[in-house]
Structure 1
Amino acid sequence: MSRFRMYPTPAQQAALLEQCRHARYVWNLALEQWSMWTRDRGLTPGYVEQARQLTEARAAFGWLRAGSQTVQQQALRDFDQAIKNFYAGTHRRPTWRKAGLHEGFRIVGPQASRIVKLNRGWAAVNVPKVGRVRFRLSRAVPEAKSYRITRDRAGRWHLAFAAIPPPIPAPGTGEVVGVDRGVIVSAALSTGELVTCPGLSAREQERLKQLQRRLARCRRGSSRSHRVKAAIAKLHARAGDRRKDWVEKTSTDLARRFDVIRVEDLRVAQMTRRTKVKFDPGRPGAYLPNRRRAKAGLNRGILANGWGLLVQRLEHKAAGRVEKVNPAYTSQTCSVCGHCAPDNRESQAVFRCVACGHEANADVNAAVNIAAGRAVSARRATPPRVSPKREPQHATSA
């Protein structure tokens, strides 16, 4: 979708937050009905029945009637779609929406196309019960049948139109590139390029650490704690914006330059899970060391480099041209002779083959193997290179 930055007035912000509260209340009420289902109660009410109940609730409560009926009905439609996605196995179970975390609502119908261009850099969108809200024209406004208004933790408002842009066409050169994702080097290409995702600077990291220490000394729920949380959210939002900007630029560049893009088939969600607790069998109620802090640091490094988001955006922009390769032993296999051994990887950045003496950057060597689609078996047995003109040979017994 195409997202724009909104700049509402203080009065409009209060009205938008009221619409967010209505949408969140309707969503949580529908989730409560669905979560209370038991086998002896029959079917839970669907969208049609919940919409009828919403009409009765609006007639009974003035504070709910003061809000937009479109916003509240779309919250029910969003919940109905979330339930269908959950039963289809494509999404997780719907969760509760919390104040300050899930602030947003959706508008559909003719109101989604009521965009007024003010000048070359600004436009206004008509929001029910709020009026015209200005937003920045950072790009052309697409034709869409709905839009969503959201507010992030840093207090910024955004307007997103539900319009999927077409994929980037292939250059037609036949070139193939391999992308090796890492923590120190965000993305290493088989062409030898090393790309690093920008994050917070050293001064900003020190500022974040000071704010976190100050938050630990604040009384929970105080005005001072809210101010410190807002400052921390701004730093995290700044890092997230830089990461998303890097992902968009890198994915667009790869989709324009190469016909086939090969990446490692990594399950990032499983790789960044919290370590399991180890119980001490000799002492009941005690625990053994499980290197939890080291794993937490690795998880932060993986998420800060946008591993999953990079591949996701590549699949969107280069549809049908992204191939996933088995990542087994790609960092230990020589890209020249194909020899696989743990001793080939001297350090995080140095690769030196013990068989042929080939030296290269370890990440670039892995990217070359990924570009070739090379993977070895679990026994680390590298298949020999056989000429395609050679006749098939009988397998010899071990």
Structure 2
Amino acid sequence: MLIAPVGGCFIVLSGRRYRLELSAEQAVRCEEFGHVCRAVWNTGLEQRRAYRRRGGWMNYAPQCKELAEAKREHEWLKAAPSHVLQQTLKDLDRACRDHGTFTVRWRSKVRWSPSFRFPDARQIQVERLGRKWGRAKLPKLGWVRFRFSRPLGGEIRCATVSRKAGRWFVSFLVDDHAAPPDRHAMSDTAVGVDRGVETAAVTSDGEVFDRPFLTIGESARYRRLEQRLARQEKGSANRRKTITAMGRIMSRVSDRRGDFCAKVAAHLASKNALVALEDLRTRNMSASAVGTVEKPGRQVAQKRGLNRAILDKGWHRLELALANAARYTGTRVVKVSPAYTSQRCHACGFVTEGNRESQAVFVCKNPGCGNTDHADLNAAKNIKAAGQAVSACGDLGTGRSVKQEPGSRATGQAT
């Protein structure tokens, strides 16, 4: 899902990804496009950093002009379409503005997966060849076949070709003209969702959503591949094959996680007009605890295990899936402060650290209450209550207070 400005307002674009079946010549050409884009990114980033060191500033417009001049001097730059390289500079410009010139990373030949975008929809054609196959015409690639696993369902705005785990994919951004309904079909329904490391999601209605994403066999194979990788010489062909095999396993895990989050989000959005989540900073919560030489981290192994559990359950991915599913049902997704949601008794409101006796057991220590419940379920009920209060006052999350009608945010229209 992408929100793009068009004609003074904002429209929401949806993504459609398909697996490509490239010929040998097309695969080589895609690799070449990726290498050229990587070189343009790195050169542009180095130029920006040099300007910043001197107290100056370099942005997209002069770099785009210099790119046109460089293409007249260097023939290898002409291998990739001009607008693909311009999109690389646009991505670099946005990254530097959002994160800082010296924070943006280089694109390594070994670690970076090739990716490039065709922004002009007029140069993209898509045809369906049968029940399972389709083809797309892309600049300088010609007609490429892909598995037509789902309908496009909208007007194509751009296309991105990328490689993941040794396979090539094409992603279309389409305008499906979908607008959320004015009211949810069940407008008086609400639910709170607690995301955890033992269970992916527990709702205030008592529903539990969880599943393993890595099978026992895949786990054993991945461990053997890691052992093989440790014995192989860096830069060798066998090492690249091992890395590709490891990427295939993790790619299947990622796809299962995405499918799980999409199904859970669709289920929650279809049944509830309000979905409340904790406002969790997943990136900060899963940061490394190694520290520095001057100030080494503590309990590094325990923190590493917690980070893996957080990332494995897909907390942020579920949040994004909910925002996408809410477009079609009119559901409001609100974020509430996560403070004390796991320590507060839902029945009486008594808060103490001792209320949560274990990962799963919650026992209220208030002598006049004594409420017992599953710890995640109790937290979900607290999140629901906080979400209903947030919805009533208009606050949309911790750290920010936007007093604005929810419809304008849900539809993506500028006000």
Of residues 63, 71, 77, the one that matches 1:64 is: 77
Aligned AA (1:99): K
> Contact (CA 8 Å) 2:124, 2:138: kept in 1 or not?
no
Aligned AA (1:337): C
Of residues 159, 169, 173, the one that matches 1:158 is: 169
Matches of 2:130 and 2:102, distance apart in 1: 43
Aligned AA (1:116): E
> Contact (CA 8 Å) 1:167, 1:318: kept in 2 or not?
no
Number of aligned pairs?
A: 364
Aligned AA (1:223): A
Aligned AA (2:208): L
| Alpha-carbon distance change, 361 to 83 in structure 1, aligned in 2, over 3 angstroms | same
| Structure 1 residue 38 displacement after superposition | 4.3
Matches of 1:163 and 1:296, distance apart in 2: 39
Matches of 2:172 and 2:61, distance apart in 1: 26
Matches of 2:335 and 2:52, distance apart in 1: 42
Unaligned ranges ≥5, structure 2: 1-14, 389-415
Question: Does structure 1 residue 304 correspond to structure 2 residue 316?
Answer: no
| Structure 1 residue 43 displacement after superposition | 4.4
**Where does residue 288 of structure 2 map in the other structure?**
274
> Contact (CA 8 Å) 1:26, 1:76: kept in 2 or not?
yes
| Alpha-carbon distance change, 112 to 99 in structure 1, aligned in 2, over 3 angstroms | farther
Q: Which has the larger displacement, 1-10 or 184-193? A: 1-10
Three-state SS of the structure 1 residue aligned to 2:354 is helix
| Structure 1 residue 164 displacement after superposition | 5.4
| Alpha-carbon distance change, 25 to 341 in structure 1, aligned in 2, over 3 angstroms | same
| Structure 1 residue 197 displacement after superposition | 4.0
Three-state SS of the structure 2 residue aligned to 1:162 is strand
Matches of 2:283 and 2:175, distance apart in 1: 25
| Alpha-carbon distance change, 92 to 36 in structure 1, aligned in 2, over 3 angstroms | closer
Matches of 1:135 and 1:242, distance apart in 2: 21
Aligned AA (1:362): A
**Where does residue 226 of structure 1 map in the other structure?**
240
Aligned AA (1:240): S
> Contact (CA 8 Å) 2:335, 2:387: kept in 1 or not?
no
Matches of 1:111 and 1:221, distance apart in 2: 41
> Contact (CA 8 Å) 1:198, 1:246: kept in 2 or not?
no
> Contact (CA 8 Å) 2:36, 2:80: kept in 1 or not?
yes
Question: Does structure 1 residue 119 correspond to structure 2 residue 127?
Answer: no
Question: Does structure 1 residue 97 correspond to structure 2 residue 97?
Answer: no
Of residues 67, 76, 80, the one that matches 1:54 is: 67
**Where does residue 259 of structure 1 map in the other structure?**
273
Query: Normalising by structure 1, what TM-score?
Result: 0.84
After superposition, where does 1:283-322 map in structure 2 within 5 Å? 290-318=298-326, 321-322=332-333
Query: Normalising by structure 2, what TM-score?
Result: 0.80
Question: Does structure 1 residue 145 correspond to structure 2 residue 157?
Answer: yes
| Alpha-carbon distance change, 134 to 111 in structure 1, aligned in 2, over 3 angstroms | farther
Unaligned ranges ≥5, structure 1: 280-284, 376-398
After superposition, where does 1:69-84 map in structure 2 within 5 Å? 69-84=82-97
| Alpha-carbon distance change, 83 to 328 in structure 1, aligned in 2, over 3 angstroms | closer
| Structure 1 residue 374 displacement after superposition | 8.1
> Contact (CA 8 Å) 1:121, 1:137: kept in 2 or not?
yes
Question: Does structure 1 residue 358 correspond to structure 2 residue 371?
Answer: yes
Matches of 1:231 and 1:276, distance apart in 2: 29
> Contact (CA 8 Å) 1:6, 1:159: kept in 2 or not?
yes
| Structure 1 residue 125 displacement after superposition | 1.1
Cα deviation 1:124-153 (Å, max 9, x = unaligned): 11122221111122222231221111112x
| Alpha-carbon distance change, 177 to 130 in structure 1, aligned in 2, over 3 angstroms | same
> Contact (CA 8 Å) 1:330, 1:374: kept in 2 or not?
no
| Alpha-carbon distance change, 215 to 71 in structure 1, aligned in 2, over 3 angstroms | same
| Structure with greater strand percent | 2
Three-state SS of the structure 1 residue aligned to 2:155 is coil
Question: Does structure 1 residue 217 correspond to structure 2 residue 231?
Answer: yes
Matches of 1:43 and 1:273, distance apart in 2: 31
Aligned AA (2:258): K
| Structure 1 residue 265 displacement after superposition | 1.5
| Structure 1 residue 39 displacement after superposition | 6.8
Q: Which has the larger displacement, 292-301 or 245-254? A: 245-254
| Alpha-carbon distance change, 39 to 374 in structure 1, aligned in 2, over 3 angstroms | closer
Cα deviation 1:61-119 (Å, max 9, x = unaligned): 222223322322322233334344457xxx99432222352311111224443112212
| Structure 1 residue 23 displacement after superposition | 1.5
| Structure 1 residue 372 displacement after superposition | 1.0
**Where does residue 339 of structure 2 map in the other structure?**
328
| Alpha-carbon distance change, 14 to 40 in structure 1, aligned in 2, over 3 angstroms | closer
Three-state SS of the structure 2 residue aligned to 1:339 is coil
**Where does residue 15 of structure 1 map in the other structure?**
29
Of residues 206, 214, 220, the one that matches 1:192 is: 206
| Structure 1 residue 25 displacement after superposition | 1.5
| Structure 1 residue 42 displacement after superposition | 4.7
Question: Does structure 1 residue 135 correspond to structure 2 residue 146?
Answer: yes
Larger Rg: 1
> Contact (CA 8 Å) 1:255, 1:314: kept in 2 or not?
yes
| Structure 1 residue 309 displacement after superposition | 1.6
Question: Does structure 1 residue 171 correspond to structure 2 residue 185?
Answer: yes
Three-state SS of the structure 1 residue aligned to 2:185 is coil
Matches of 2:105 and 2:352, distance apart in 1: 46
Aligned alpha-carbon RMSD (Å): 2.6
After superposition, where does 1:363-378 map in structure 2 within 5 Å? 363-373=376-386
